[in-house]
Structure 1
Amino acid sequence: MAVEGACSLALDEEQLASAAKRLLAGDLALLPTETVYGVGVAVNAYLDSGGLPGSETGYGRIFTLKHRDTSQTVPWLVDGPDALDRYGASVPDAIRTLAAECWPGALTLVVPAAARVPHFMRAADGTVALRASASPVIQDLIRATGSPLAVTSANTHGYPAPASFAEVEPRILEGVDLAVDAGETACRDASTIVAVRDGAPVILRQGALPAETIARLLEN
């Protein structure tokens, strides 16, 4: 396991190139978002898998590492609002408004998945969860790989999500191929998750972005 960018808010060019290369090879990484630390992979490394990647792959190890059922999906970290049109389909206006106002930031938006989203990366209802993270590390890696990152919180399922590198469980750290240490995250709460159900926005998980802020943005 290589530890990149120790206690840094960004990677230098050599570190970035190395991390991007390993992600595109399918490696599993520990990564800092602005909310909590996550474990994840580059989506593009798995587009030609033809089905759910095996448990020995970086993507498959997300689930064994977290003790999480493979029927659950992993959110995608994307570059910005334009990603709604690349990876989403029939995206509701309310979702577009929230993305325009809150991305990059601590808001995950659930949308109908576009045809290019692999079936094993979709929820049972055919949706995919997208977020543009404000973490410089994440944004740099998305640009360097040319790929979304499928990332979920770096914790055993049911345990608190780590908001600093020091809080990452040793077994999680030992289970990844590379790790980026950016110290403490800017925001210690997980992202708020919003979807549209029956034509109305619904908060599926209350997190860092307050419900009042979401309501205000959608009223305007």
Structure 2
Amino acid sequence: MLPTDTNYALGCLPQDEAVCARLYDIKQRPAEKPLTLFVRDAAEGMAYADLSPEEEVLFKDLAARFWPGPLNLIVSAGPKAPKHKYFDARTISLVCNRNSALRALLDAVDGPLAMTSANISGTTVDGLVSAALAAELFGDRIEVFVPPVDSDAGTTQSSTIVSLVGGRLEVVRQGDVVVQ
């Protein structure tokens, strides 16, 4: 479990399908709900995408304005994107957060992590998933717990999710980041 700019999250190496399966089992997450890829920067994110010229312009603009930060960008998946049942075959959700503990871990593994919020699938959490709630829900079933190191990141909601597929910007979920 590790902190992000919004919710505490469960994470694993994205290319390891068996580890992703364990994460899904722990979270009780349906396999048809894909994981999100957390990257270090826009260039790393673009390496996992297949962007049309229109999508690339939108991607670069939004990444320059809001990354690192609580914004997920859904784009067409490129050849480098993980190719197993825990990722969508057509699209990939990419995030670049500013949380220092998360960024240090991404540097330590020298690449992205597959992540999802640290709650039980299908349950509602009032507010964001905190370190304490994540530990209560998953404590002894998780191999590594990364404690929070940043002070409040200023977020009050889960991340904003925006789709850029087809060269059109569509807000899928509104969070604190307002995309215009």
TM tier, smaller = 0.7 to 0.9
Taking a change above 3 Å as real, the CA distance of residues 206 and 157 of structure 1, as seen in their structure-2 partners, is same
Of the three residues 181, 193, 200, the one matched with 2:147 is: 181
Question: Within the alignment, does 1:39 sit opposite 2:10 as a pair?
Answer: yes
Alpha-carbon distance in structure 2 between the residues aligned to 1:205 and 1:40: 21
Q: Which residues in structure 2 correspond to 1:3-14 (within 5 Å)?
A: none
Higher deviation after alignment, 158-167 or 201-210: 158-167
Displacement of 1:175 after TM fit?
Answer: 1.6
**Residue 192 (structure 1) aligns with:** 160
Alpha-carbon distance in structure 2 between the residues aligned to 1:119 and 1:128: 11
Of the three residues 97, 116, 139, the one matched with 1:133 is: 97
Relative to the length of structure 2, the TM-score reads: 0.86
CA RMSD after TM alignment: 1.9
Percentage of matched positions with identical amino acids? 27
Relative to the length of structure 1, the TM-score reads: 0.72
Taking a change above 3 Å as real, the CA distance of residues 185 and 75 of structure 1, as seen in their structure-2 partners, is farther
Alpha-carbon distance in structure 2 between the residues aligned to 1:114 and 1:197: 12
**Which residue identity lines up with residue 25 of structure 2 in the other structure?**
T
Larger Rg: 1
Would you say how many aligned residue pairs link Structure 1 and Structure 2? 172
Of the three residues 93, 96, 101, the one matched with 2:65 is: 101
**Which residue identity lines up with residue 173 of structure 1 in the other structure?**
G
Partner-residue secondary structure (3-state), 1:31: coil
**Which residue identity lines up with residue 87 of structure 2 in the other structure?**
R
Question: Within the alignment, does 1:80 sit opposite 2:48 as a pair?
Answer: no
Alpha-carbon distance in structure 2 between the residues aligned to 1:182 and 1:163: 12
Render the CA deviation track for 1:58-80: whole Å, top value 9, x for unaligned.
31122112211112210011011
**Residue 177 (structure 2) aligns with:** 209
Displacement of 1:171 after TM fit?
Answer: 3.6
> Unaligned stretches of 5+ in structure 2?
none
Higher deviation after alignment, 62-71 or 156-165: 156-165
> Unaligned stretches of 5+ in structure 1?
1-29, 47-52, 216-220
Contact 2:128 2:157 in 1 (8 A): no
Question: Within the alignment, does 1:172 sit opposite 2:133 as a pair?
Answer: no
Partner-residue secondary structure (3-state), 2:79: coil
List 4+ stretches of structure 1 deviating above 3 A.
Answer: none
**Which residue identity lines up with residue 209 of structure 1 in the other structure?**
V
Higher deviation after alignment, 161-170 or 149-158: 161-170
Render the CA deviation track for 1:38-97: whole Å, top value 9, x for unaligned.
0011225x2xxxxxx34xxx3112211221111221001101111233111125011221
Question: Within the alignment, does 1:60 sit opposite 2:21 as a pair?
Answer: yes
Question: Within the alignment, does 1:114 sit opposite 2:85 as a pair?
Answer: no
Alpha-carbon distance in structure 1 between the residues aligned to 2:22 and 2:49: 26
Partner-residue secondary structure (3-state), 2:164: strand
